[in-house]
Chain A
Amino acid sequence: MAVPLSYVARNLWTRRLTTALTAGGLALVVFVFATVLMLDAGLKQTLVSTGEYDNVVAIRKGSETEIQSGVTRLQAAVIETHPAVALGADGKPLVSKELIVLISLRKIGAQKPSNVIIRGTSATGFELRPQVKLAAGRLFAPGSAEIIAGGAIARGFEGTRIGEKLHFAGRDWQVVGSFDAGASGFDSEIWGDVETLLQAFRRTAFSSVAFRLASSERFDGLRADIDGDPRLTNEVKRERLFYSDQSRALSTFITVLGLTLTTVFSIGAMLGAMITMYAAVANRVTEIGTLRALGFRRAAVLGAFLAEAMLLGLGGGLAGLACASLMQFASFSTTNFQTFADLAFRFALTPAIVAKTIAFALAMGLVGGFLPAVRAARLEIVDALRAS
C-alpha cells in the first residue's frame, strides 16, 4: 500500500520557508532552461517561416548567404527561362531578381549601429512571399527612391517610420510604407525597387534570384540542369532550407551555451533539493518508524519521499515555467553571425518545450531526492522508533 499523497504534500507545507527556498532555486534553473529552448524555437520558427517550400533561391556557388553572392544578368536570364519555373497569371515567369545590401542603422536607444538588410525586389517578390503583407502606407513605386520597412525594423530602428527619410548610397530614401511579414526573417528587412537600388549602389549584378517551382517534384531536375550548364556558376536551394541553414550557427551557439549553463546550474539546484530532503528525512525518523510499524513497506516509504522530492521539483518547474511564459511578450534581436545582419525573433513556447521543462524539473527533484529517500527506506523500525 502506498503512503497517501496528502501526507506527502502536507510535509512540504509544514516547512514552508525551506520548501519555498528550494523550489525557488529549482524554478530559476527551470526558467533559464525554458528560456533557452524558447529562444532557439523562436529562431527556428522565424527562419523556417521565411521560406516557402516550393520557392527556390539561386546564389553564386560557394557563397553561403545572399550577401556574399552575385548573379549576373545573363545568369539570371538563363535561370528565368528554365521550364521548371512557374508562370504567373499574366504568363510571365514568377521570378524575382533581387539585390541584398547591408546598411548601418541605429537601433532606437543604442549607441552603436547595427547592420540591416536592404532587399531590392519587385512586385513578383511579394507574389512569391504571401506571408509578407503591407501593414500601413503604400508600396514603393518602381523606379523611385522609395522604401518600405518590415515590422521589426519599423519598431526597432531610427528613421524607419512612414514619412521619415533614410540617407544612404548618396541620396535620401523616403519611407512610404511598412509591411508585416509575420514572424519571418523578412520582418527584419527593408525593401525597395531592385533597379533603383542597383543604380544607387553602382552594382551590375543581382545578389540572388528567387522563383516558384512549376511543380514541387521538378526541383531535382532543375538542380541537375543548373549544375550542368557551363554558363552558370550558381547553385539552387529550396528557400526554406536556404534560410534555415543561415540560422544554424546562431542556433547551435544559443543551444550549446544555454544547455551548458543549465547543466551547471541544475547541479547547484539538485544539491539544494538533496539538502532539503536529507533534512526532511532526519527530522522525521520517528515518523518513518511509525509508518513502518503501521505496515507500510520499505518501497512505500521510498515512494513517499521520492514523491515529495518530485512534488518539490514540480512546484519549482511550474513557477519557472510561469515566469518563462511571460518572456513570450518580449522579443530578442541580435546579429546573425552568418548573414552579418540584425535579426529579430521571439521567444516561442511550444507544447514540446512545456513537456521537456516539466520533465527536466521532475528529474532534478528525483535525482536530488533519491539518496535521502533510500536512507529513509533503509531505516530499521526499532531504531527509528527509539530515535528522539
Chain B
Amino acid sequence: MFVLKLVYKNAFRHRLRTLLTLAGLAIAVLAFGLLRTVVDAWYAGAAAASGTRLITRNAISLATFLPLHYESRMRGVEGVTRVVRSNWFGGIYQEPKNFFPQFAVSDNYFELYPEFIVPPAELGAWMRDRKGCIVGRSLAEQYGFKVGDVLPIRGTIYPGTWEFVVRGIFDGADSTKITRQMVFHWDYLNETLRKSAPRRADAVGLFIVGIDNIDNAAAVATGIDGLFSNSLAETLTETEQAFQLGFVAMSDQIVAAIRIVSYVVILIILAVMANTMAMSARERTAEYATLKALGYGPLFLALLIVGESLFICALGGALGVAATVPTALAFKKMVSIFPVFAVSRDTLWAQAACAGAVALAAAIVPATRAARVRIVEGLRAIG
C-alpha cells in the first residue's frame, strides 16, 4: 500500500507536466486505434465475403467482359446453385465526389445475398419496375434517398444520363455488411445498350456463382475455368474473399504505409513519455539516495519508477481507448469514403498493449539509473 501511495503522490507532484503527458498519451493511443480501424476498413469487403460465393471474371482483367451465354453453361457445372450477372456501372451522381458503387445485377441477386434484407413488398415493387433500383441503408441515409425518388446518374462507362427510381432500401444483417451501394436491373442496362450500342450488349462484367457446399469451392472453380479454357474469353474463378483481397492488394503499399505510420505515433509518444520519466527521475536523485540510506533496496526504487510510469500510461491509455469509439463514429459521419468503419475488439486490446509497452520502455533507463545511484553522490546531486 505504501508503494502505491508513493507512486500516486509522485505521479501528480508536477501536475502540469503529468497532465500534458496524459493528453499526449491519450491522443497517441487514439490515433493508433483510428489508424488500425482505417486498415480494418480496407479489408471490410473481404471480411464480409461469404465462402459459398465464387466470382468468375475475364482472365485478362476486370475491365474486360464475358459473353452472356457463359451463364447457362456455368449453371451446368456440378455444385453450382445460382449464377448472378453483375456489371460495374461506375456512374456519377451529381458530381464525381459523390462516389458510390452502382451494380447492374440480374433479378436473382438478393437470393444469393441473404445478408442484405429487403422488405418483400419493396422487392416485389423492384421486380415490377424495369427502371427500379434498390439502395443500401447507409447510402440512403447519406443522401436522404426515399422510396419513390428518381436518381439521375451520369454514366462514364455507359454514356448518357440514366434515371433510376428507388423501389426499396436494403439493410445489412449486421454492422459489418456494406450497405453503401446501389443495385438495379441488369436487363435495363442490356436492353438500353441493344438500342444504343448493340456491339456492347450481352456482355457481363462478372458472374457471382452460388455453390451448394463450401468444400466444393475449389472443384467448382476449376470446373468453370475448365469449360472456357482456350476460348476467346478465358475465365478466372476465385472465392469472393480472394477476389476482394485482390482489391486490397492493389493498394497494399498504402495499407503498409498506414500500418508503419501507426507505429510511428507510438514511437513519438514513447519519446514524450521517456522524457517525462527521465526528467522526473533526475530531479529526484537526492530523494532516491535518501530512500537508499533509509535501507530501501534498488529493486524498490526501480519498482517506484516503473509503477509511476505504468500509472500514468494506464490513465492516458484508458482516456485514449475510451475516446476511440465515439471518435470513430464521428469520423464515419464526417467522411464517407469507408463503407464500414467499426472499431474492433482487437484494436482496443492493441491500444492497451501499446500503452503498457510504452510505460515499460519509458521506465527502463530511469529505473536502472535510480537503482544504481550511489548514496553519497545521490545526496550531493542538485535537480
Contact = CB atoms under 8 A, between A and B. Distances in A.
B271 A24 contact: yes
Contact of B24 (A101, A169, A271): A271
Contacts of B253: 332-334
Interface in A88-102: 101-102
A81 interface: no
A32 B258 CA distance: 11
A216 interface: no
Interface stretch (B100-108, B125-133, B208-216, B261-269): B261-269
20 contacts: A17-B365, A21-B274, A25-B275, A31-B264, A32-B264, A63-B157, A101-B60, A104-B60, A111-B249, A112-B245, A114-B249, A201-B64, A249-B96, A253-B337, A261-B265, A265-B264, A268-B268, A334-B250, A340-B62, A342-B250
Given A112-B246, A115-B61, A22 B271 contact: yes
A25 B64 CA distance: 49
A324 interface: no
B61 A102 contact: yes
Contacts of B16: 278
B159 A170 contact: no
B268 A17 contact: no
A276 B279 CA distance: 8
Contacts of A249: 96
A342 B67 CA distance: 26
Contact of A63 (B159, B236, B268, B275): B159
Contacts of B269: 25, 268
Given A112-B246, A168-B60, A204-B199, A25 B156 contact: no
Given A60-B159, A68-B90, A334-B253, A272 B271 contact: yes
Contacts of B199: 204
Contacts of A18: 275, 278-279
B383 interface: yes
Interface string B18-32: 001101100110010
Given A18-B278, A268-B265, A28 B271 contact: yes
Contacts of B264: 28, 31-32, 265
Contacts of B59: 104, 168
Contact of A104 (B35, B61, B230, B265): B61
B271 A278 contact: no
Contacts of B17: 275, 278-279
A306 B268 CA distance: 22
A83 interface: no
Given A265-B264, A272-B24, A274-B20, A115 B62 contact: yes
Given A271-B23, A278-B17, A102 B383 contact: no
A61 interface: yes
Interface string A45-75: 0000000000000001111110110000000
B156 A63 contact: yes
Contacts of B383: 283
A63 to B, nearest CB: 5
Contacts of A21: 271-272, 274-275, 278
A279 B383 CA distance: 11
B350 to A, nearest CB: 17
Contacts of B254: 334
Nearest to B280: A279
Interface string A246-257: 000100010001
A371 to B, nearest CB: 9
Given A104-B61, A110-B252, A261-B261, A271 B21 contact: yes
Interface in A230-284: 233, 249, 253, 257, 261, 264-265, 267-269, 271-272, 274-276, 278-279, 283
Given A101-B63, A115-B61, A275 B276 contact: yes
A29 interface: yes
Contact of B272 (A168, A170, A275): A275
A113 interface: yes
Interface of A: 17-18, 21-22, 24-25, 28-29, 31-32, 60-65, 67-68, 101-104, 110-115, 168-170, 201-202, 204, 233, 249, 253, 257, 261, 264-265, 267-269, 271-272, 274-276, 278-279, 283, 332-335, 340, 342
Nearest to A19: B275
A272 B27 contact: no
A64 B62 CA distance: 18
A25 B268 contact: yes
Interface of B: 16-17, 20-21, 23-24, 27-28, 31, 35, 59-64, 90, 96, 154-157, 159-160, 199, 230-232, 234, 236, 245-246, 249-254, 258, 261, 264-265, 267-269, 271-272, 274-276, 278-279, 283, 337, 365, 383
Q: Which of B199, B261, B269, B276 has the most CB of A within 10 A?
A: B261
Contact of A340 (B63, B232, B261): B63
A102 B272 contact: no
A29 B271 CA distance: 12
Nearest to B246: A112
Given A101-B64, A168-B60, A268-B269, A32 B279 contact: no
Given A32-B264, A67-B63, A249-B96, 8 more contacts: A68-B157, A102-B60, A104-B59, A170-B234, A268-B24, A268-B272, A271-B20, A332-B253
B249 to A, nearest CB: 3
B159 A275 contact: no
Nearest to B277: A21
Given A68-B90, A103-B61, A271-B23, A335 B250 contact: yes
Contacts of B337: 253
A267 B60 contact: no
Nearest to B17: A275
A21 B274 CA distance: 7
A115 B63 contact: yes
A110 B256 CA distance: 13
> Would you list the 9 A-B pairs with minimal beta carbon distance, nearest first?
A112-B249, A335-B250, A25-B271, A272-B272, A271-B24, A21-B275, A102-B61, A102-B63, A268-B24
Nearest to A104: B61
B178 to A, nearest CB: 17
A68 B156 contact: yes
Contacts of B90: 68
B159 A61 contact: yes
A110 B155 CA distance: 34
B368 to A, nearest CB: 13
Contacts of A279: 17, 279
A278 B19 CA distance: 12
A333 B252 CA distance: 9
B271 A265 contact: no
A115 B247 CA distance: 10
B223 to A, nearest CB: 21
Contacts of A261: 31, 35, 261, 265
Nearest to A248: B96
A112 to B, nearest CB: 3
